[in-house]
Amino acid sequence: MSRKEMILKEMEEVPDPLLEQVVDYIRFLKLKMAREKFELPLLSESSLKKDWLRPEEDEAWQDL
């Protein structure tokens, strides 16, 4: 049984009043994943910036 199937099976037993909380949690997890995906390049930018902004880099890319 796949994880999705296990989740769907569990969802069948969740009372209706709790389903909104389940949906809210799923949306929270999706938003968190999207933010982490977006933040990673931003975090690495500061550490790579010192290499990107060197004159040697400008020379290497000037013909493109």
- Structurally, how many domains does the chain consist of? 1
**What does 1-64 look like in DSSP terms, one character per residue?**
--HHHHHHHHHHTS-HHHHHHHHHHHHHHHHHHHHHHHHHHHHHHHHHHHHHTSHHHHHHHTT-
Domain-embedded: residue 46: yes
In a domain, 4, yes or no: no
Query: Does residue 5 lie in a domain region?
Result: no
Residue 61 lies in a domain: yes
Is there a domain that residue 3 lies in? Answer: no
The pLDDT of residue 8 is above 80: yes
Q: Which domain holds residue 38?
A: 19-64
pLDDT digits (tens, 9 = 90+) for 19-53: 999 999 999 999 998 887 777 776 677 777 777 77
- Identify which has the larger pLDDT, 58 or 34: 34
